[in-house]
């Protein structure tokens, strides 16, 4: 894809120099789709509509602290993935089996898509969204879902991650991702042992690649938002006598008042929660790595036993040859000794990814709150 982009750019560059004879065989990337509807135009940017943003936020917040997901609808046009709508998916209830939860979710999705089509809504699935808290969203189900989307959807689909805890602090956190080729290959081959990881140089940081994200509104929504943020003067009498209290004053009429939640200096509760999450994940990781070590020891033990057996058999055969007897057949060692398969490193890789997510959130929060504290101090001493 990058090669195609480079080619089209290279083709575009000499065009102004020699406008008389443009190379006829080179079609600009934006026209390629008209000529060939299956043409591969690389995805450059994800564009979210206001409605989708608000719907994702509402769903994530209603279900907080449990993580939820839903389907994104829209269209990819000329390298821009336009997400115009979305709908939440029902979450499997406690105790419900995975096997029953999945068909019901897909049935839900089908009937929702049918209904949306009837009222002329977009019904083209382009990806899914996932809510998270404190920045750790990497999980087995997240990656499996995206891997299945990337196989079935045009352009692979995108995964949108919304961090509720950060948005509540006044910093809207939306990120668009898709899986890298390296991870997709590994996922396809189900090779997450050490060898497989080394071959592809796979760590938690290159499982996903981020796509730039921009927010766009429909013109009608733009107009509506602007009327909301415009203060309107109430037509109440203007001859005001000095009033006793504020409640006697005419109400200011501005539905969208700025509140600046980001200027709040108290970030301690969030920090404590985040730190305890870090500790939990560290425990999990520890357990995972001791599991791994146990497996390694198991493998080593079986291997030594197998080696000892082959050595013994060889010795015996040599003895028999010397005694003039026919040698015993060389048996298949792997059938006698079950060498356990090498354990997958997938889980521990994901845990590392989660740890990194938590720590990154911690860094961001503490960085901002240090700035705020020094600012408050400067303000107080200057006053």
Partner 1 sequence: MSLGRPSQAVFLQPPAATSAPFANRPSPVTSVTVHPIALFSILDHYLRRDEKQDRVIGTLLGSRQDGEVEVKSAFAVLHAETTERVAVDMDYHRTMLELHQRINPREVIVGWYSTGANLNTYSALIQGFYQHETAPHPAIHLSLDTDATDGQLGVKTYLSAPVGVTPKLENCVFTPVPCTLRYTNVEKGGLDLLTNAASSSTHLAHPEREMEELEKAITDVVGMLDRVLTYVQAVLKGERKGDPAIGRYLLDTLSAEGPALGRKGAEALMGSQLQDTIMVSYLASLVRSQVEVSSRLALVT
Residues 17-36 that bind partner 1 (CB under 8 A): none
User: Of these, 39, 275, 300, 318, which contacts partner 1 (CB under 8 A)?
Assistant: 275
Cα–Cα distances in Å, from 297 out to 301, 347, 369, 373? 6, 19, 46, 51
Tokens representing 54? 């608000």
Q: Which is nearer to partner 1, 18 or 220 (CB)?
A: 220
Rule CB under 8 A: is residue 287 a binding residue for partner 1?
A: no
Q: How far is the CB of 307 from partner 1 (least distance, A)?
A: 19
- Given the structure tokens 């994702």, which residue do they identify? 56
Q: How many degrees, rounded to 5, is the angle at CA 292 between CA 287 and CA 296? A: 145
Q: Which is nearer to partner 1, 35 or 220 (CB)?
A: 220
Host H or E run for residue 341: none
Rule CB under 8 A: is residue 214 a binding residue for partner 1?
A: yes
Q: Which residues from 129-148 bind partner 1, rule CB under 8 A? A: none
Rule CB under 8 A: is residue 205 a binding residue for partner 1?
A: yes
Q: How far is the CB of 319 from partner 1 (least distance, A)?
A: 37
Q: Which is nearer to partner 1, 37 or 236 (CB)?
A: 236
Rule CB under 8 A: is residue 112 a binding residue for partner 1?
A: yes
Q: Which residues, listed in sequence order, are joined to residue 177 by a DSSP beta bridge?
A: 159, 210
Q: Which residues from 43-62 bind partner 1, rule CB under 8 A? A: 47, 50-51, 53-55, 57-62
Q: Which is nearer to partner 1, 8 or 84 (CB)?
A: 84
Prior bond of 65 cis (ω within 30°): yes
Q: Which is nearer to partner 1, 181 or 234 (CB)?
A: 234
**135: phi > 0 → left, psi -120 to 50 → alpha, else beta; which?**
left
Q: Which is nearer to partner 1, 106 or 319 (CB)?
A: 106
The string of DSSP codes covering 213-259 is EEEE--HHHHHHHHHHHS-B---S-S--PPPSSGGGSPPPB-SS---
Host H or E run for residue 126: strand 125-132
The string of DSSP codes covering 34-102 is HH-TT------EEEEEHHHHHHHHHHHHHHTTS--EEEEEEEEETTEEEEEEEEEPPPPPTT--HHHHH
User: Of these, 133, 174, 186, 208, which contacts partner 1 (CB under 8 A)?
Assistant: 174
Q: Counting every residue, how long is the chain?
A: 383
Rule CB under 8 A: is residue 278 a binding residue for partner 1?
A: yes
Of 31-39, 88-96, 179-187, 310-318, which part binds partner 1 (CB under 8 A)?
88-96
Contact status, residue 121 vs residue 85, Cβ threshold 8 Å: yes
Of 4-12, 308-316, 322-330, 371-379, which part binds partner 1 (CB under 8 A)?
371-379
Rule CB under 8 A: is residue 291 a binding residue for partner 1?
A: no
Q: How many degrees, rounded to 5, is the angle at CA 214 between CA 208 and CA 220? A: 145
Q: Is the Cα dihedral 315, 316, 318, 319 positive or negative?
A: positive
Q: How far is the CB of 356 from partner 1 (least distance, A)?
A: 5
Rule CB under 8 A: is residue 110 a binding residue for partner 1?
A: no
Q: Which is nearer to partner 1, 99 or 381 (CB)?
A: 381
Cα–Cα distances in Å, from 90 out to 65, 94, 206? 16, 12, 30
Q: How many degrees, rounded to 5, is the angle at CA 146 between CA 289 and CA 133? A: 65
Q: Which residues from 217-246 bind partner 1, rule CB under 8 A? A: 217-218, 220-229, 232, 234-236, 240-243, 246
Q: Which residues from 241-260 bind partner 1, rule CB under 8 A? A: 241-243, 246, 249-251, 253-260
Q: Which is nearer to partner 1, 103 or 258 (CB)?
A: 258
Query: Number of residues in contact with partner 1, rule: CB under 8 A?
Result: 116
Q: Which is nearer to partner 1, 172 or 319 (CB)?
A: 172
User: Of these, 124, 139, 267, 344, which contacts partner 1 (CB under 8 A)?
Assistant: 267
User: Of these, 164, 179, 184, 277, which contacts partner 1 (CB under 8 A)?
Assistant: 164
């Amino acid at each position: 894809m990058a090669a195609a982009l480079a080619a089209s750019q290279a083709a575009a560059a000499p065009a102004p120099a020699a406008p008389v004879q443009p190379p006829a065989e080179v079609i600009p990337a934006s026209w390629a789709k008209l000529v060939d509807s299956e043409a591969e135009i690389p995805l450059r940017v994800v564009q979210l509509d206001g409605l989708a943003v608000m719907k994702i936020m509402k769903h994530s917040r209603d279900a907080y602290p449990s993580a939820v997901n839903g389907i994104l609808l829209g269209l990819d046009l000329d390298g821009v993935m336009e997400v115009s709508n979305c709908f939440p998916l029902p979450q499997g209830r406690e105790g419900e089996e995975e096997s029953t939860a999945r068909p019901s979710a897909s049935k839900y999705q089908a009937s929702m898509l049918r209904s949306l089509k009837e009222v002329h809504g977009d019904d083209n699935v382009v990806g899914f969204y996932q809510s998270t808290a404190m920045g750790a969203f990497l999980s087995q189900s997240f990656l499996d879902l995206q891997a299945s989307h990337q196989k079935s959807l045009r352009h692979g689909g995108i995964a949108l991650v919304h961090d509720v805890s950060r948005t509540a602090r006044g910093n809207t956190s939306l990120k668009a991702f898709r899986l890298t080729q390296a991870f997709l290959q590994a996922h396809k081959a189900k090779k997450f042992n050490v060898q497989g990881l080394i071959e592809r140089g796979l760590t938690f940081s290159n499982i996903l690649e981020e796509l730039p994200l921009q927010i766009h509104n429909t013109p009608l929504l733009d107009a509506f938002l602007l009327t909301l943020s415009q203060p309107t003067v109430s037509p109440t009498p203007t001859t005001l006598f000095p009033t006793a209290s504020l409640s006697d004053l005419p109400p200011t009429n501005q539905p969208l008042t700025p509140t600046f939640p980001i200027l709040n200096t108290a970030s301690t509760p969030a920090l404590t929660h985040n730190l305890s999450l870090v500790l939990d994940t560290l425990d999990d990781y520890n357990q995972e790595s001791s599991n791994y070590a146990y497996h390694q020891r198991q493998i080593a033990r079986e291997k030594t036993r197998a080696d000892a057996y082959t050595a013994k058999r060889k010795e015996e055969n040599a003895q028999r040859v010397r005694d003039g007897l026919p040698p015993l057949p060389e048996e298949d060692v792997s059938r006698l000794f079950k060498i356990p398969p090498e354990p997958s490193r997938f889980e521990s890789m994901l845990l590392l990814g989660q740890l990194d997510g938590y720590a990154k959130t911690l860094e961001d929060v503490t960085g901002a709150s240090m700035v705020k504290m020094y600012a408050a101090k400067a303000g107080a001493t200057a006053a």
